[in-house]
Structures are given as C-alpha cells and as structure tokens.
Amino acid sequence: MKQLLSVLCVLSAVATLHAADAKKPNVLFIAIDDLRDWVGYLHHNEQTKTPNIDRLAKMGVAFTRSYCAAPVCNPSRAALMSGMRPSTTGVYDNNNDWRLAIPMDKPLTTAFRNAGYFVCGSGKIYHESYKRREEWDDYFENEGGGKAEKRLSKNAKDDGVGGIKFAPLDCEDSELADYKITTYGIEQLGKAHDKPFFLAVGLHKPHMPWNVPQKWYDMFPAESIKLPPYKEDDLADIPPSGVAMARPDGDHKNILDAGRWKEAIQGYLAATAYTDMNIGRLLDAFDKSPHKDNTIIVFWCDHGWHLGEKHHWRKFALWEEATRAPLLWVVPGLTKPGGICERTVDFMSIYPTLTDLCGIPKPAHVEGPSIRPLLADPVAAWDIPALTTYKFNNHAVRSEGWRHIRYANGDEELYNEVTDPNEWTNLAGDPQYNGTKTELAKAMPTTNHEAVGGGEEKKELKREKKKKAKAKAE
C-alpha cells in the first residue's frame, strides 16, 4: 500500500509539473534580415506593400522608434541573442566569430532550454557564417533555394549594379529558401507539443540579392518609383569618419552612373513584399494553431538599410536609416490590439523582456531592460535611449528627440529629430547644444572590448571542439 501511495505521489508530481509547463507561454520569434522602416505601419515609404506585417502590427504593440544594437548582421544578432552589447563582447563586424566571445551558457536559447522549453528554429537567426546548432533541440537544415535564385526572368537586364544585386526570377515562390523556412515554422505551430516551445523563424529577404519571382517586381513598376529624401550636399557638414562610412564613391556612384536608382529600389520593395507574403503564411498558421492563445509573438529585424540617403547604400553606418527597424509584440493577456509605442527602445530589450514575460529569471550578464511596462501601456513614461555601435568605439545614441553620434577619433554628429527627421543638419559644432551632447553621451559605453578573434580565443575554441569530439566518441 505504501509503495502504491509512493507511486501515486510521483505521478501526481509529474502531472503537476506538466500542468505548470503547459501554462508557460510559448514564443514565436520572427527575425527578418535587412528590413528597414519601409513597412506600412511606419508610414515612412508609402510605396511599400506589407499588408501582413501591418496585420501583425495591429494584433499587439508596434514600436515606431526601435533600433538595432549594431548595423551589421553578425554583431546585431550576436548582441540580441546573447544579451551582451558589441562593446562587451568585441563582436563588431561580420568577420568576428561570436562563438569565441559568447559561451553556451549565455544565449537566449539556453535560458529557455534551462527553463524546460523545446527550442527549435529555421533560417537565419545568428549570422550563418558561424553556426552553433548545439544550442537548439531541433533546427531545419538544407533550406536550399540557391539554384532558383539564379534563374533570372527574361525581363532581367542583369543581376544588378556592382555589389547591389537585384533581378526578377523565373521561378515559383515555393522554390526559394524563405518559403521552406516558413513552412518549418508552420509545421511546428500545427504540432502538439508536450513542452512549451520557443520557435525561431528567420527569413533572409530583403537581404541581397533582391531576387524574387517576377510577379513581385510587377507590383512596383520602375517608372513609378519615388526616390527617398535626398540632399546633394548632405555630406558637407559630416566629419571625415562619417563620410568614410557613407562611401559616396562606392555603391551610390555606381548606381547613379548606371542610371538605375529606381530599379534598385524596385528590387528592395519586391523582396520586402515577398517576405511579407511569407509572414502572411505564418500568421495564417498561427491563427489556426492550437497554441494561439498561449503564444507570444516578437517580430524584429536585425538593422535598417540605406537606399541612397546620405549618398550611402547598405547598412554599415550610424544614421537613422541603417539603425531603425521594425519591432512588434503580441503578448496574450498583456498587449492590446492596435497599440502604438513611440518610446525609444533598442533590441537589447528583447532577451530580458522574453524572460520576464515567461517567468524565467534574467541572467546576470544580460544588459538590456525589460520593456514589459511599455507592452502593458505603450504611452508609459520611458527615459532610456537606444544605443547602436558600429565597429570599435563608434556609437550612436537615439532619444525621442535627438541622435548623437561619436566616433572613435572624437568626431561627432548631432541631429534634432523633431525638426530635422532626415538628419540633414549636423548641430554637433554648435556650443548651445553641448549640454544635449553631454546628456546623451551618458548612454555610451565606458569600456569597449577589443575585437574578438585573437589567437588565444581561437585556440580555446579548438580545445572545446576536441573535448566535444572526444566525449562523443566515448
């Protein structure tokens, strides 16, 4: 009888544990590559067509002033996933192996696995040059799409201009990698799970090449494209460090010389519309999912993108266009549909907000604040500015009213975002704004780690790999 009671107690405890797990919210973690503020809900470019992203924005709280930790794929993603800023890790650029600076106990995935979650993903979450699949319980591999991206439409002139790659394709939507990546997410949303899940879906477009089926190009006739706000002498009051980042004699000169500025923008808009279609597929599956009422959605993009503003293309800069990107949250029982938050936040808030919402203790190394108060009340007071870092000791601080950029050599820029949203007038040299600069500079890091990737770090990574191989063999 005692043995029977003991068994019943164990079974009861297990049932209680599973019931507790079932109450933990699931997470749908959607990452988009190179998507700037050209989405419908931000009204920054009315040519764009993103009905599904706008649909998601209406489901919860949409942020209008949200900024990346770094305007480059690898450091942006490494910072967001680790909870540590580039200045802390030394991961500043695409050639810095983030695995050397971020051990397995630090990432967001580990925090969720330790809390009993099934952690799975597909597509681009980290920069794919450096993979660490051991962080995941399941990950979709062999996404393909490469051959289809090379089948150019008969209407394609070529594959783009210099390094700016764009062309319509002769293929089906389903042949590209992002379609398959989305399908993995759809399948996970439809499954029964015996544990709460953390599901990451990372879409590549509108990362270059902007190669998508012809029909997406047809939505944006090149002759009707409107150019972004542009000032011919925009770089005249920018210090040498800023001009060096703009690289006006590079991509921008090539685009102008080829007379294909509108065509390039057409390609970006087409690739964005293609991604929006996949978001629609994912949301349709979410609406049908048995997990819908207990699943948090966070939608983020790794950074923005210039399309000729400041004579610059791509990311790799500290101005508004390169650093601003969409951020959307849907949290059952907390967010209300149609919420708009105009407070300034950066993506270092994503890690601590997710752990906060899911009842997981915030790891000590995580640097950002939880924005849960803003999800509950989008107009709540908030005085923490956004911080973006590009390469060693170059930082931009963005408040609701200002942007202050300070480069490693001491060069500065200051913009009044209320009266000068295009950042055309650099006020950094005007003494009347010294107090403003001093106040904003308080948010800049006081310690900047050297770039990761030294010899000792590489040796340590090799030692770790040998240990894992030996343990696996045994």
* Active-site amino acid positions: 73, 127
Q: Residue 35 in contact with residue 301, Cβ under 8 Å?
A: yes
Say if residue 137 is exposed, middle or buried (CB neighbours under 10 Å; 0-12, 13-18, 19+). Answer: middle
d(CA 446, CA 47): 41
CA dihedral sign of residues 217, 220, 224, 225 = negative
User: Please, which residues bridge with residue 298 across strands?
Assistant: 29, 329
Tell me the one-letter amino acid at 228. P
Please enumerate in sequence order all residues whose Cβ is within 8 A of that of 200, keeping only pairs 6 or more positions apart, or say none. Answer: 29, 30, 31, 119, 120, 121, 122, 123, 125
Tell me the one-letter amino acid at 197. F
d(CA 145, CA 213): 12
Which helix (DSSP H) or strand (DSSP E) does residue 57 occupy?
helix 51-59
Q: Where in 250-338 does DSSP place strands (E)?
A: 295-301, 306-307, 313-314, 327-330
Torsion of CA 114, 118, 122, 125, to 10 degrees: -20
Q: Residue 341 in contact with residue 378, Cβ under 8 Å?
A: yes
d(CA 323, CA 253): 22
Q: Residue 177 in contact with residue 5, Cβ under 8 Å?
A: no
CA atoms within 13 A on the CB side of 180: 15
CA dihedral sign of residues 100, 101, 103, 108 = negative
User: Please, which residues bridge with residue 306 across strands?
Assistant: 314
CA dihedral sign of residues 302, 307, 309, 310 = positive
d(CA 242, CA 409): 11
User: Please, which residues bridge with residue 313 across strands?
Assistant: 307
Q: Where in 290-430 does DSSP place strands (E)?
A: 295-301, 306-307, 313-314, 327-330, 339-346, 386-389, 395-398, 402-406, 412-416
CA dihedral sign of residues 258, 261, 262, 263 = positive
